[in-house]
Chain A
Amino acid sequence: MLKYAFKRIVQGLITVWFIATATFFAMHAVPGDPLSGDKALSDKTRANLEAKYGLDKPLMTQYGIYLANIAKGDFGISFTQENRKVNDIIREHFPVSATLGILAILFAGAGGILWGALTALYRNRLPDTIIMFLVILGISVPSFVVAAIGQLSLVNINDLAGVSLLPIGGWGTVWHMIVPSMVLGLGTMAYLTRLMRSSMLEIISSDFVRTAKAKGVPPTQIFTRHQLRNAILPVITVLGPSIAGITTGGFVVEIIFAIPGLGRYFVQAVQQLDYTVIMGTTVFFGAFLVFMVILVDIIYGYVDPRVRLE
């Protein structure tokens, strides 16, 4: 298991290097640079600035410097925000995005497993039909629509109640987190529900569940010890990629709910071609995702002995 974890971490580092390299060259391939903003610069100012930021050096030299800095954990200074370190931007705003994302994935995972198991147990009966209809909706409606509808309903509910039950935007308390994380996790939850349902259906009619019944194991124990544990495996496998999906969706949700996460900075930075901020946030997010996927794989190994012991 330890060897496996180590192998995965090395693979992860290579992935992060790949992300960094791809982002660097893709970014430089885009026409324009951070200095070609709204203000026209005189040639002299431009040359000075280029020298200051190292943009006058050959591309490969820039790449080398940039990699060396990343290895030290230094993402440099923002081009567009006066003297602001990218590390500071990340430190300040990443925890917000991460909290939102983790809450969303917990919500999606718990909901998906619960609803999936429930629909399988009630297959082809009313609860199954209703939930599966909602699932199709959840999968097909894009997250910015869900976010907008979520916020609108919140406004209406607060209106009806006459008091502000839950804040409609911003960040700070647990109450701020509830609706955005639900909105963000909804699509994934729908997807996981469907996956869990089919996996559970397969397990319900499996031979080993029949064996457990023949042993006289009570139904609740069959559910927890035999069905759930095995049915969950495919869900865990897709949790890793789901985290990536949730992160991207998070940018939109952050903007709609006015959440001071990293997403907003990222979108802004792309618009302004703020090289260092784009690089810093992308690489950091990439590393975070890779780490989460490894974590999920290790959890999977813990749940499934066939992986753990190989």
Chain B
Amino acid sequence: MSEPILSVSDLAVEFDTYGGTVQAVRGVSFDVAPGKTLAIVGESGCGKSVTVQSIMGLIPIPPGRITAGTAMMNGVNIIGRKTVNGEDIRGGQIGMIFQDPMTSLNPTMNIGNQIAETLIVHRGYSKRKAFNRAIELLDLTKIPEPEKRAKQYPFEFSGGMLQRAMIAMAIACEPQVLIADEPTTALDVTIQAQILDLLADLQRETNMAIILITHDLGVVARMADEVLVMYAGQMVEHGGVDDIFYNSGHPYTMGLRAAMPTNQPGIDARLTPIDGSPPDLFHPPAGCGYCARCPHAMQICVDNPPPTYTLGERHETRCWLHHPDNNTQVEGINKAVGSSP
């Protein structure tokens, strides 16, 4: 693995709400290298969006609060509002696209100007030059008749076309990192595949790193090099895409896989949803966040948070099953070779 372009460590984010303080993200670390794709997966509400939005400085403060953590990019910590704006990171070195393209574009500004705006802000282009570049970018993202399209408004675009325009906007300044927060969730299946192909093509051409948030393991299998599995605001497993699919070390990852449709013949095709729901993040459990739903939970899981065990090179998990003193072998879970609590 080459040098990471972005490394996040120990990120923790809280929100003050009427019901109390929500601990949305509780110590998440990961990194991503140029040309690679990191997928972040997990049930809705587990803190995926909050994680990446903190990096982008998009957390509303208040009610939000980043209580700990750093995100190092090119030797600078980009966490914290001022640096993010001041260092020209947002929109310049990191581009971001969102889940719902229909609402993510300004309804009263034409598409070309919305793309051009990024170039005017970060590159100091003239209006004319930026608009011409916007047309090229629309062409690059395979939008037919880009000159005409650039002058149109979001309501004249379909969802898939809008997401292409969003991508054009996000890559306008040739960012080193592209963050895609569920970029295909709101789109038709056929359109989904096209958008994913487009992202993969662009990555090959520009060697940018991609952080792809999804709850669709099919998308993970198709796109990711590495996977970060999150549960209740924490990392539960992190590893290469093969580690996660064939060599997983965490009961939650196993559960996600069992809940995923498969088209391999011979494999039991029944889907097994994970019973229960994620814990209350107002009062996160003292021990393992998953213990209320975990079929292998032990007393220690209830009382103490599991440490991180290394299962292989760039493969780690947080689960007591990997403690060296644990002799129960759980089917499908590979025990850690060494532990590093």
Q: What residues make up the interface of A, taking CB atoms closer than 8 Å to B?
A: 205-208, 210-218, 221, 225-226, 229-230, 233, 303-306, 309
Shortest Cβ distance from residue B86 to the other chain A in the assembled complex, whole angstroms: 10
Instruction: Out of A206, A208, A212, A216, name the residue touching B92 (CB < 8 Å).
Output: A216
Instruction: Please report whether the interface of chain B is mostly helix, strand, loop or mixed according to DSSP.
Output: loop
A269 and B103 CA atoms in complex are apart in Å by 55
Q: Which residue of B lies closest to A303 (CB)?
A: B108
Which B residues lie within 8 Å of A233 (CB)? 108
22 pairs from A and B in contact (CB 8 Å cutoff) = A207-B100, A208-B104, A211-B98, A211-B105, A211-B166, A211-B169, A214-B58, A214-B90, A214-B95, A215-B121, A216-B85, A216-B90, A217-B91, A217-B117, A225-B106, A226-B109, A230-B106, A230-B108, A304-B108, A305-B108, A305-B155, A309-B153
A226 and B105 CA atoms in complex are apart in Å by 10
Instruction: Out of B96, B105, B118, name the residue touching A208 (CB < 8 Å).
Output: B105
Instruction: Out of A212, A225, A230, A306, name the residue touching B155 (CB < 8 Å).
Output: A306
Add 8 more A-B contacts to A211-B166, A304-B108 (CB < 8 A): A212-B117, A213-B56, A215-B90, A215-B118, A216-B85, A216-B122, A218-B121, A226-B106
Shortest Cβ distance from residue B138 to the other chain A in the assembled complex, whole angstroms: 16
A207 and B181 CA atoms in complex are apart in Å by 13
Do B106 and A305 touch (CB < 8 A)?
no
Q: Which residue of B lies closest to A212 (CB)?
A: B106
Known contacts: A207-B100, A218-B85, A218-B121. The answer to whether A213 contacts B90 by CB under 8 A is yes
Shortest Cβ distance from residue A268 to the other chain B in the assembled complex, whole angstroms: 47
Shortest Cβ distance from residue A168 to the other chain B in the assembled complex, whole angstroms: 44
Q: Which residue of B lies closest to A305 (CB)?
A: B153
Do A213 and B108 touch (CB < 8 A)?
no
Instruction: Please report whether the interface of chain A is mostly helix, strand, loop or mixed according to DSSP.
Output: helix
Shortest Cβ distance from residue A200 to the other chain B in the assembled complex, whole angstroms: 14
Residue-wise, chain B 37-80 has the 8 Å CB interface mask toward A (1 for contact) of 00000000000000000001110100000000000000000000
A303 and B96 CA atoms in complex are apart in Å by 28
A306 and B156 CA atoms in complex are apart in Å by 9
Number of A-B contacts (CB under 8 A): 80
Do B169 and A210 touch (CB < 8 A)?
no
A226 and B98 CA atoms in complex are apart in Å by 17
Known contacts: A216-B88, A216-B90. The answer to whether A230 contacts B105 by CB under 8 A is no
Quick check: is B312 within 8 A (CB to CB) of the other chain? no
Which A residues lie within 8 Å of B100 (CB)? 207
Do A215 and B169 touch (CB < 8 A)?
yes
Do A215 and B91 touch (CB < 8 A)?
yes
Q: Which residue of A lies closest to B169 (CB)?
A: A215
Quick check: is B338 within 8 A (CB to CB) of the other chain? no
Known contacts: A216-B85, A218-B85. The answer to whether A210 contacts B98 by CB under 8 A is yes
Residue with the highest number of chain B CB atoms closer than 10 Å, among A212, A225, A229 = A212
Residue with the highest number of chain B CB atoms closer than 10 Å, among A206, A210, A214 = A214
A257 and B105 CA atoms in complex are apart in Å by 49
Which A residues lie within 8 Å of B121 (CB)? 215-218, 221
Do B117 and A208 touch (CB < 8 A)?
no
Which B residues lie within 8 Å of A205 (CB)? 60
Shortest Cβ distance from residue A152 to the other chain B in the assembled complex, whole angstroms: 43
Quick check: is B132 within 8 A (CB to CB) of the other chain? no
Do A306 and B118 touch (CB < 8 A)?
no
Report, nearest first, the 4 A-B pairs whose CB atoms are least far apart: A216-B91, A215-B91, A216-B90, A207-B103
Shortest Cβ distance from residue A202 to the other chain B in the assembled complex, whole angstroms: 12
Quick check: is B110 within 8 A (CB to CB) of the other chain? yes
Which A residues lie within 8 Å of B153 (CB)? 305-306, 309
Which A residues lie within 8 Å of B155 (CB)? 305-306
Instruction: Out of A212, A221, A229, name the residue touching B108 (CB < 8 Å).
Output: A229
Known contacts: A206-B103, A208-B105, A309-B156. The answer to whether A215 contacts B117 by CB under 8 A is yes
Which B residues lie within 8 Å of A306 (CB)? 107, 153, 155
A306 and B157 CA atoms in complex are apart in Å by 12
Shortest Cβ distance from residue B163 to the other chain A in the assembled complex, whole angstroms: 12
Shortest Cβ distance from residue B56 to the other chain A in the assembled complex, whole angstroms: 6
Residue with the highest number of chain B CB atoms closer than 10 Å, among A205, A208, A211 = A211
A229 and B108 CA atoms in complex are apart in Å by 8
Shortest Cβ distance from residue B95 to the other chain A in the assembled complex, whole angstroms: 8
Shortest Cβ distance from residue A35 to the other chain B in the assembled complex, whole angstroms: 58
Which A residues lie within 8 Å of B166 (CB)? 211
Which A residues lie within 8 Å of B169 (CB)? 211, 215
Which B residues lie within 8 Å of A309 (CB)? 153, 156
